[in-house]
């Protein structure tokens, strides 16, 4: 049970990564490893199995994982050498080192990260 104060806000990271080899972006096992690494290092708690969809060639992949903390999604674009990732945690937490990990795991040459605060407390109604 959350209280109605500071706890009723979360963090979302909106991530784009570029310069990744198309083969890696079309490889579900590679992406599953990325998700597993995030779950492990951030101590995320999946609720249910991940859901994956592989699109026709060039073979972009979409993956989603429901979390007790909210959700994790990833979409790949092999034809662009890029991916888009969202991590939403409904309680505050430290950021993952997205740029370092996406370089290490996928060979990303460039990573952009935007952080959004997501407030969902009743008080937010009055203060906005």
Residues tagged active-site: 70, 75, 90
Measure the CA angle with vertex 81, ends 29 and 38; round to 5°: 45
1 near a copy of itself (CB under 8 A)? yes
Does residue 78 interact with a copy of itself by CB under 8 A?
A: no
Among 5, 40, 48, 94, binds a copy of itself (CB under 8 A): 48
Q: Is residue 119 involved in binding a copy of itself (CB under 8 A)?
A: yes
Interacting residues of 53 by C-beta distance below 8 A, sequence separation 6+: 61, 62, 63
> Radius of gyration over alpha carbons of the chain, in Å?
16
Span from 32-40, 79-87, 96-104 in contact with a copy of itself (CB under 8 A): 79-87
């Amino acid at each position: 049970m959350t209280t109605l104060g500071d706890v009723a806000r979360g963090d979302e990271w909106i991530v784009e990564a570029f310069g990744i080899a198309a083969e890696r972006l079309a490889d579900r096992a590679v992406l599953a490893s990325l998700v597993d690494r995030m779950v492990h290092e951030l101590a995320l708690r999946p609720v249910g199995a991940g859901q994956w969809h592989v699109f026709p060639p060039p073979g972009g992949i979409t993956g989603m994982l429901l979390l007790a903390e909210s959700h994790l999604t990833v979409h790949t674009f092999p034809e662009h050498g890029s991916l888009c990732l969202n991590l939403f945690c409904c309680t505050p937490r430290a950021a993952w080192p997205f740029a370092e990990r996406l370089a290490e795991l996928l060979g990303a040459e460039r990573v952009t990260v935007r952080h959004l605060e997501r407030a969902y407390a009743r008080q937010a109604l009055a203060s906005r």
